[in-house]
Structure 1
């Protein structure tokens, strides 16, 4: 504890180093959407820098100034130019870790005189559920938003033309990384300015014009966001998923969704961490009551807003899915900002020290989880390598959820982290895969940078008849419609309930035969008759 009291920033640096090692030491960092982002970044490089590649034959770049989902592709493209693809992905995640952790600490410094201490609370939220969903664009935007909001707080009094331009530029970069985070920034700024107007009882007329000036840097991004919403109108699903308030409350209180995603092994650490946060929040309320401090601070209003947003936002809002865990994460981040404004006494320091111990214990569980995903990644790459030809077309069949257990560690996951793992095999052997959900979005409304060249989309069948699994495969008639030759090899990922019955659906002509199957029924390889092996 003496070391903690004297060197909190050094412990922060040590914690960041350990998180970086957890990302970089395993041979791969597997996430749900990560392989797809990595694969499409490879396609972008091939189209830009390799003439006549198979990727250029099948894909085009979807250039659109209203694509608020792009920034994460920049490091993935850049690093793949001179690094192996798995390292490109790991370094991208490592950059996110640095951006997220140091950005949050920088924002805390604008709210709390004890930011070095309270920054230690961020560690459990670094390797969070949103990261393992593979939402790189969102998290990079979130890391950048910390710098935007901190710079906004620092410059509110001076607000020079240079600072306005910098804020405007950073807000546009955030918009193009992820529109939802741009909205979060807008919420922060509006609540901040409204608090100045109404809670602080500033002179209304003068303060109103000051508030307009302070928020004006968001106008260019807001215009782009409005144009994006108009373009997407009528195409996004909103609120189709069943709403369960009890489940939402559980995801915030009893079983924090942003921390609890890899199952039973992490509960011994997540529960104490959550209880420590509750105690710190209770101390903050007691101190505010004792000091007669108003409850309605900016950080409290932000925390309350995202608490309500987490409870009541439709799961499919905003043109995508899995929005609630993102709101869940942002709620906890502003909860940390709120409690960082309390007095730093000896009791609080001890609680933060205990919290740090449990944070590092949770990191060890995350490290095992990452190692398990890396094992499965290499299993798929090495097992399929014998049957894949460079510049060939391959297809995939998925029995979803692909695998609720990954690797020898048998760590349970609440979402299907292995669903895009076949794309690592395509990257390793330089194959073009028909399994590309990003390219499959209709071009006129797509927020991804790659589309199919000739086909509007490749029809994907999702058959739920093999319960509890969903069989997902490319419809055989789609390829003939666009005069695309059938793929030479199919990778079948996930354990099937009825292998023969499933094959009759995705291979009605009996054109493929199995040439490989692993011992855990996770991966099977099928080849067209006469196209077996290299």
Structure 2
């Protein structure tokens, strides 16, 4: 077995083990102390309960706003989970997704950042994804910013997908599914958080500028060096 394959075999179980270890505190302790977390659970509970005929008191004071604005995703996920599990368990599932997906998305992004033809470098570079575990319990998570915390993973998945597929994203008909999926990912970031949507668009724009900006030819280099020497005198 080659050293590359050996590295793959021990890395995957280790990643799975670390994901489980990082999620365990969410389920061992009853609550995760956060600033806005309880507000998200409360809002999701209202969204879950207000359609019920018995919720006349809630319907008196609350009205569901179906406007397509950001910060929807965490409430929809929590409200949907509350049809199956209690609110506290629904929050734990959401937090588990936030914590577990962050390092996984980072691994995916790094894996897609290296060309396929250099497999050993690709795998070695991907191992830097272990640093993603250091940021699983980041500051924004403790602030209770669930939507933005979810976006971090979606950002790396989106950028990784773009880096992996951008060469095939042409104006041909065969590229429509890939472009459509990328567009769907970008739209999803809007419903996660408005700043996340702007960050994804900015990242994609910068990548396209760097990728397609023409490289300097020999004449340009010679002219630049001549200009540099003239400044020295």
Among 13, 18, 26, which residue is 1:15 paired with? 18
Among 156, 177, 181, which residue is 2:196 paired with? 181
Gaps of 5+ in 1: 203-534
Contact 1:155 1:163 in 2 (8 A): yes
Equivalent in the alignment of 2:208? 193
With a CA cutoff of 8 Å and minimum separation of 6, indicate the structure with the bigger relative contact order.
Answer: 2
Residues 488-528 of structure 1: per-residue CA shift (max 9 Å, x gap): xxxxxxxxxxxxxxxxxxxxxxxxxxxxxxxxxxxxxxxxx
The alpha-carbon distance between structure 1 residues 50 and 105, as it changes in their structure 2 partners (threshold 3 A), is farther
Among 40, 53, 57, which residue is 1:54 paired with? 57
Among 181, 185, 188, which residue is 1:166 paired with? 181
Please give the alpha-carbon distance, in whole angstroms, between the structure 2 residues aligned to 1:127 and 1:4. 27
Please give the alpha-carbon distance, in whole angstroms, between the structure 2 residues aligned to 1:168 and 1:6. 34
Q: How far does residue 9 in structure 1 lie from its aligned partner after superposition?
A: 2.9
1:417-428 to 2 correspondence within 5 Å?
none
Please give the alpha-carbon distance, in whole angstroms, between the structure 2 residues aligned to 1:115 and 1:52. 54
1:461-476 to 2 correspondence within 5 Å?
none
Secondary structure, aligned partner of 1:48? coil
Number of paired residues? 199
Among 126, 138, 143, which residue is 2:136 paired with? 126
Please give the alpha-carbon distance, in whole angstroms, between the structure 2 residues aligned to 1:23 and 1:194. 42
1:385-404 to 2 correspondence within 5 Å?
none
Secondary structure, aligned partner of 1:64? coil
Secondary structure, aligned partner of 1:82? coil
The alpha-carbon distance between structure 1 residues 100 and 162, as it changes in their structure 2 partners (threshold 3 A), is same
Q: Give the structure with higher Rg (CA).
A: 1
| 1:29 equivalenced with 2:32 (yes/no) | yes
Residues 448-480 of structure 1: per-residue CA shift (max 9 Å, x gap): xxxxxxxxxxxxxxxxxxxxxxxxxxxxxxxxx
Q: How far does residue 116 in structure 1 lie from its aligned partner after superposition?
A: 4.1
Structure 2 length normalisation: TM-score?
0.79
Q: How far does residue 14 in structure 1 lie from its aligned partner after superposition?
A: 1.3
Q: How far does residue 192 in structure 1 lie from its aligned partner after superposition?
A: 0.8
Secondary structure, aligned partner of 1:163? helix
Residues 90-114 of structure 1: per-residue CA shift (max 9 Å, x gap): 1110011222221111111012412
Please give the alpha-carbon distance, in whole angstroms, between the structure 1 residues aligned to 2:161 and 2:101. 15
Please give the alpha-carbon distance, in whole angstroms, between the structure 2 residues aligned to 1:43 and 1:29. 21
Contact 2:112 2:160 in 1 (8 A): yes
Please give the alpha-carbon distance, in whole angstroms, between the structure 1 residues aligned to 2:93 and 2:16. 18
Structure number with higher helix proportion: 2
| 1:109 equivalenced with 2:111 (yes/no) | yes
Structure 1 length normalisation: TM-score?
0.36
Please give the alpha-carbon distance, in whole angstroms, between the structure 2 residues aligned to 1:12 and 1:76. 27
